[in-house]
Amino acid sequence: MPLIRKTRLSGNSIVVTIPSQLVEAYDICCGDEIEIIPIKNGQIKIRKIEIEHNYEDENLKVSILKKSA
């Protein structure tokens, strides 16, 4: 079943919200990078970009991850 959203204006951009069901299912957080890929015939693909972080200090890593959770 498709999830339908209405676009809205925000400054000079058009915004589409992501339904909470998808946010939870795909572990999307505020500040995550999302890639928008034009396909064809007016279709687009949206995907979350997974970023690998290299932390030299394991304690710093744990602290940062706790704050973002």
CATH of the domain at 18: 2.10.260
Whether 53 is in a domain gets the answer yes
pTM: 0.59
Domain residue limits at 50: 8-68
The pLDDT, as a whole number, for residue 62 is 64
Label residue 59 exposed, middle or buried (CB < 10 Å: 0-12, 13-18, 19+). exposed
- The domain tally of the chain equals 1
The pLDDT, as a whole number, for residue 51 is 74
The per-residue pLDDT string of the chain (69 residues; one tens digit each, 9 = 90 and over) reads 688 999 999 999 999 999 999 999 988 988 899 999 999 898 999 999 887 666 566 666 566 666 655
Whether 2 is in a domain gets the answer no
Whether 45 is in a domain gets the answer yes
In whole angstroms, give the CA distance from residue 22 to residue 18: 7
The pLDDT, as a whole number, for residue 37 is 93
Long-range contacts of 20-29 (CB under 8 A, 24+ apart): 29/68
In whole angstroms, give the CA distance from residue 49 to residue 29: 11
Whether 19 is in a domain gets the answer yes
The pLDDT, as a whole number, for residue 64 is 63
